[in-house]
Structure formats: C-alpha cells, structure tokens
Amino acid sequence: MNWWQRLKKNPLARFGAIILIIFYIMVIFADFVAPYGPYYSQPNGSLLPPTRVHLNNREGQFIGPHVYPTIQGDTELETGKREIIVDYSKPSPLGLFVQGSKYNLFKLSLPLPPKWEEVTLFPGIPLNVHLFGTTNDTRFNILGTDDQARDEFSRLLYGGRISLFIGILGVAISFPLGMLVGGISGYFSGWTDSVIMRVVEVLMTFPSIYLLVTLGAVLPPGLTSTQRFLLIVLITSFIRWAGLARVIRGQVLSIKEREFVQAARAMGAKPLYIIVRHVLPQTATYIVISATLAIPSFIGAEAILSLIGLGIQQPDPSWGNMLSLATNASILVLQPWLIWPPAIVIILTVLAFNLLGDGLRDALDPRSLGR
C-alpha cells in the first residue's frame, strides 16, 4: 500500500484536507462567493444581526426563501441595545447567481519597491455575478454587519486571502533557504558547518512573538497594511529557517555517506549539484510534513499581530483584525456574531493543517510503507 492510499484511508487527514480545500476555494473565488465588496458600507446598516431567512410570508403562504429589508434604529442609552427595524411589507426573494456589484475575478496585483507602487500582474475577468443574494436592492447579511455597516461574511472571505496565503508565502520563503543552508552545512562539515551552526543557534534564540511585535512597531508608518505585513513575513521567514536548517543538517550528515552520493562524487559531480539533486530529495518526507505543520504558525502570527494592531490595519480585512473586536466587552455581549466567525475559521484552519500534517507523517513513515 503506497502513501497516497494510506493518506486517503485516514479519516482525520481526509477531514482536514476537505476543510482546507473548501476554505481555499472560497477565498480564491471571494469576489464571486461574497455578495458584497469588503469595503461596501450599507446605509443605516451598522451592527445588524445575521439576516433571518423566511420561507412563508406574513400570511403563512409559502413563497420560497426570502428576506425582509432591515435597518438600524435608535440605541438605548442605558443598555446599549440597538433597535432593529424590519419592513415586513417588502419580501425580497433569494437566489443563486444573482447580479450585483462589478468586480474583476482573479485580479492579481503586487506592491513592489522602491516606491511600493501597486503593479497589476493580471487585470482579471470583469464580472458582476455573485453566488447568492437577493434579486433586488435588499441586503442579505448572512453573518450580520460590523460597526461600519460592512457585510461580515464578505469581509471574512476577503480577509481569508491574507490569513490563508500568508502561511504558504512564509513557507515558500523559509523552507528552501533552510534546506539549502542545512544541506551545505551537513555536506561540507568542518569549519563551514561550525560557522553556519553558530549563526543558526543565534537566530534560534530570538523569541518569535516578541520579534514580530518589535518588527511591527518599527516599520515605516507610511506603508499600507499589505505592505507592512509583507515586510514582516519576509523578515520572519529569513529567521524561521534556522530550526529547519539544523534538522536538515543532521539528516544530510548520514545521507552523504550513502553509495549513490559517493558514486555521484566519484563521477565528478559538483558539490552543489549533489546537494540539490541527490541529498535534499532524500529529506522530502520530513520537508512535506514540516511545511504542513509550519503554515499554522504563520497564520497565528498574522492573527496575533492584527489582533494587537500591528498587522493588517483597518479598513483592510483579515481574520486577525476582525477578531480584534473581542477586546470590546460590549461587542462580546451585544454583538457576538462579530467575534465567532473569525475565531471559528482560525481554529478550523489550524486544526485542519495539523490533522493533515499528522496524516502525512503516518502515511510517509518508511516503517509503514510496506504494510
């Protein structure tokens, strides 16, 4: 039985993979799935609870899924509760593939130095069709609205683009560097190994969370939220490779003595070629598992930084800064729908990556591949 069959038979790993596939598809197609833009503020719609879906009208007749126009009323000064005004005279049907605001699907842009101007890599496909919504101007807020009258569900999807892909970006930067440095250290040994390992040990002494907070505080104030966090990820990625390099170095010390490495060396292959072509591929199992388990740490770093105001800044959405409303006690009591969605998706994402990583570890275990 090969590793793929073993992985598919692991129910927990399969559950984690399904959750991640659903999340990534939703955030990639956020423009289509989300009924509104992340910055759209609807009139008189701040702090609205999740919109209730009805099947029957006020007379009890079945007319299909529909909602009623809802706006914010007055606020009670003593309790802080907001009056919610619902117009039951105007039922608004819900539908799939409805027309709405215009957007460019798959638009890809990137801020580049030296002036940090946003460069459009792909203009996207212009569309105005959304997965679901009302067939008229009535707003359907499946998870309610925030204090700026922005749709919570839409911001959750757009914020997931940063929170989910930041881990992949961090791993894509730190892991190749850690593999190469660890491979060079283990292959050459001697003074090269001693110098590299001393540098690695110094880098490993830095406490990650305090370093992240310090970096977030000293970055130039003129940068946008995306630019700030991109810099933080780049900097921390160049530090997080240290632990990986140390493990890879230990594996390379034993791999370099095997027959196929000795044969490549006898045939005159250059050391760098031997490291990249023959030695590092032998560590692929550990790399795949470690990468899967490392992504949640980057997601957690984004959430923590944004939670304390040093990561993605408003009005740009991310799961971390959406969760920052939890610091307001009145929000926790009166508007809990603003807290639970980002908290749940963060927990599910971290759990899914850990379950998938554990499943890969069991499936790729050399002692079980022949079973």
Residue-wise pLDDT tens digits, 60-119:
888 889 999 988 877 665 655 677 888 888 889 999 999 988 998 888 876 665 566 667
The answer to whether residues 19 and 126 touch, using CB atoms and an 8 Å cutoff, is no
Q: Are residues 275 and 339 in the same domain?
A: yes
Tokens 């700030």, located at residue: 228
Residue 5 placed within a domain: no
Domain boundary, last residue among 140, 173, 200: 140
Residue 315 placed within a domain: yes
pLDDT in tens, 211-270: 777 776 777 777 777 777 777 787 778 777 888 888 888 888 888 888 888 888 888 888
Query: What pLDDT, on the 0 to 100 scale, is given for residue 366?
Result: 53
Query: What pLDDT, on the 0 to 100 scale, is given for residue 80?
Result: 57
Query: What pLDDT, on the 0 to 100 scale, is given for residue 256?
Result: 83
Query: What pLDDT, on the 0 to 100 scale, is given for residue 19?
Result: 94
Provide the mean pLDDT of the chain. 83
Query: What pLDDT, on the 0 to 100 scale, is given for residue 369?
Result: 47
Cα separation, 296 vs 272, whole angstroms: 31
Q: Are residues 174 and 98 in the same domain?
A: no
Cα separation, 274 vs 286, whole angstroms: 19
Q: Are residues 190 and 113 in the same domain?
A: no
pLDDT in tens, 320-356: 888 877 666 667 777 788 888 998 999 999 999 999 9
Q: Are residues 109 and 173 in the same domain?
A: no
Q: DSSP states of 234-279 as a string?
A: HHHHHHHHHHHHHHHHHHHHHHTTSHHHHHHHHTT--HHHHIIIII
Query: What pLDDT, on the 0 to 100 scale, is given for residue 77?
Result: 59
Query: What pLDDT, on the 0 to 100 scale, is given for residue 306?
Result: 77
Q: Are residues 136 and 182 in the same domain?
A: no
Question: How far is residue 310 from each of residues 17, 243, 295, 318, 327, measured CA to CA in Å?
Answer: 31, 25, 20, 12, 15
The per-residue b/e assignment along 303-324, b for 16 or more CB within 10 angstroms, e otherwise, is bbbbbbebbbbeebbbbbbbbb
Write down the H helix ranges in the chain: 3-8, 11-28, 30-33, 152-188, 190-204, 208-218, 225-255, 259-266, 271-274, 284-307, 319-323, 329-334, 340-363
Residue 247 placed within a domain: yes
204: its two tokens: 């490993």
Residue 7 placed within a domain: no
Residue 2 has pLDDT above 80, yes or no: no
The larger pLDDT score, comparing residue 223 to residue 156, is at 156
Residue 94 main-chain phi, psi, to 5 deg: -100, 150
pLDDT in tens, 347-357: 999 999 999 98
106: its two tokens: 């798959």
Q: Which of 190-204, 257-271, 289-303, 322-336 has the lowest mean pLDDT?
A: 322-336
Query: What pLDDT, on the 0 to 100 scale, is given for residue 87?
Result: 87
Beta-bridge partner residues of 112: 117
CATH code, domain carrying 323: 1.10.3720.10
Residue 330 placed within a domain: yes
Q: Are residues 255 and 169 in the same domain?
A: yes
Q: Are residues 66 and 136 in the same domain?
A: yes
Residue 370 has pLDDT above 50, yes or no: no
**Which domain does 130 fall in, by range?**
51-140
Q: DSSP states of 150-188 as a string?
A: BBHHHHHHHHHHHHHHHHHHHHHHHHHHHHHHHHHHHHH
Number of domains in the chain: 2
Q: Which has the closest alpha carbon to 149: 296, 349, 315? A: 315
Q: Are residues 162 and 110 in the same domain?
A: no
Query: What pLDDT, on the 0 to 100 scale, is given for residue 22?
Result: 95
Q: Are residues 120 and 201 in the same domain?
A: no
Residue 331 placed within a domain: yes
Q: Which has the closest alpha carbon to 51: 4, 16, 87? A: 87
Residue 1 has pLDDT above 60, yes or no: no
Q: Are residues 246 and 347 in the same domain?
A: yes
Domain boundary, last residue among 111, 140, 169: 140
Q: Are residues 190 and 135 in the same domain?
A: no
The predicted model scores a pTM of 0.85
> Can you tell me the mean pLDDT for 298-303?
81
> Can you tell me the mean pLDDT for 142-168?
90
Residue 38 placed within a domain: no
Residue 103 placed within a domain: yes
Cα separation, 124 vs 121, whole angstroms: 9
Cα separation, 37 vs 100, whole angstroms: 10
Q: Which of 127-141, 144-158, 278-292, 342-356 has the lowest mean pLDDT?
A: 278-292
Q: Are residues 158 and 136 in the same domain?
A: no
Domain boundary, last residue among 76, 106, 140: 140
pLDDT in tens, 20-69: 999 999 999 999 999 999 999 988 888 888 999 999 888 888 888 999 99
